[in-house]
Amino acid sequence: MHRGAPASLLDPGTEADPHPLHRTLRGKFPLVHDEPFGAWLISRYADVRAALADPRLVPPSPGPVPAHGACRAVVSQALGDRVPAALRAGVERTAHVLASRLAFRQEADLVAEFCQWLPAAAAVAALGLPYEDTARVHAWCRTGLDHLGGHHPGLAAHLRPHVAARRAHPGDDLLSALCAARPDGRPLSDEAVTGLAATVLGAAGETTARALASFLTNLLDHPRQLDLVRARPELAGAAWAESLRRDPPLQIVARRALEPVGPVPGGATVACLLGAAGRDPARFADPDRYDVFRADPGGLAYGSGPHRCPGAALARLTAESGLRALLTVLPDLRRAPGPRPRAEGLVSRSPRTLPVCPR
């Protein structure tokens, strides 16, 4: 174990291509302090998995939202493994509408015109907000609302009347479930409910949007595998899981050490590098390759252990519905000529554009 990293996540060039640094870290510096980044880096699959489930390593700060664990429980229960049928139908309908809008276009950018809209619409529907709110969520996600602790000044004010309405007349949506939750025997405050709803909107509008962009990029970059998924739609789930392994939208999950853990001092920040773990050759054969037939893609993109993401089922539904609609409505969909879109971002990472020929 070395105390000093050979290079830093903040070095120029790492954001453009973090994989060379990831290789060095996994190979020679599996637990190392990155001083400029201000965190201890963990990069091997087995170590990341263990760290995420270690009770001595906790999420850095619950942010403005109390009872964050309660959110996880409520979201898990409401969306769980089975997304409600009405929500599923709504997401499928929206995917179809969005894909149909591209049907007569020569060129389009799937990130701006599809990936950023479908997950936002899915989260709006899950919370039981009016469909028109999708445009607001889309705008908030482009200006500061993100996964975990997402915050936007206009958001709380916008949600407050909806919270009041659900308290008076509960429905069967996620916002009503948050209003009805009693984590400590008492209902959550309005501030907590709006904070948790913001997390759901940010998680979908930002993180799922990024994951969808990488997913569609991977498939369009591998036309033979795309043809296979087109012919055998039951492969869509494996294709999605494989994209999350290879290109997780959240590349880094942070933890704070409650006490000394090996060389890591108490109070220090630990960065679990999901992007490095997903391409660990000790865990995955030929890890840089995108392969829809990979038997076990590992599943670390959602974290692991007690804090594992409770939105996985909604994210998967969104991705599968999106892909199905695109393949049905746009049978000739392919990448537009030109350079491959580059992924950007150190913590949240995905291609910012995906130019395609819809017909």
Binding site for ligand HEM (CB under 6 A): 52, 59, 68-69, 71-72, 75, 79, 147-148, 199-200, 203-204, 207-208, 211, 248-250, 253, 301-303, 307-311, 314-315
CB of 212 to ligand HEM, least distance (A): 8
Q: For residue 35, give the DSSP letter.
A: T
CB of 297 to ligand HEM, least distance (A): 13
Helix (H) or strand (E) holding 356: strand 355-357
The phi and psi torsions of 8 (rounded to 5 degrees) equal: -115, 155
Cβ proximity to ligand HEM: between 272 and 358 the closer is 272
Q: For residue 32, give the DSSP letter.
A: E
CB of 338 to ligand HEM, least distance (A): 27
Cβ proximity to ligand HEM: between 75 and 277 the closer is 75
Number of CB atoms found within 10 A of residue 5's CB: 20
Number of CB atoms found within 10 A of residue 206's CB: 27
Cβ proximity to ligand HEM: between 172 and 227 the closer is 172
CB of 73 to ligand HEM, least distance (A): 9
The residue sitting closest to ligand HEM, measured at its beta carbon, is 311
d(CA 78, CA 186): 19
CB of 332 to ligand HEM, least distance (A): 27
Cβ proximity to ligand HEM: between 48 and 229 the closer is 48
CB of 309 to ligand HEM, least distance (A): 3
d(CA 25, CA 42): 8
Residues 6+ apart with CB under 8 A from 106: 357, 358, 359
CB of 184 to ligand HEM, least distance (A): 16
Cβ proximity to ligand HEM: between 195 and 358 the closer is 195
d(CA 337, CA 305): 42
The answer for 262, left when phi > 0, alpha when psi is -120 to 50, beta otherwise, is: left
What 3-state class would DSSP assign to 285?
coil
What 3-state class would DSSP assign to 195?
helix
Cβ proximity to ligand HEM: between 287 and 358 the closer is 287
Cβ-contact 305, 53 below 8 angstroms: yes
**195: closest CA among 2, 62, 59?**
62
Cβ proximity to ligand HEM: between 276 and 358 the closer is 276
Cβ-contact 40, 33 below 8 angstroms: yes
CB of 63 to ligand HEM, least distance (A): 10
Cβ proximity to ligand HEM: between 118 and 358 the closer is 118
Helix (H) or strand (E) holding 270: strand 269-273
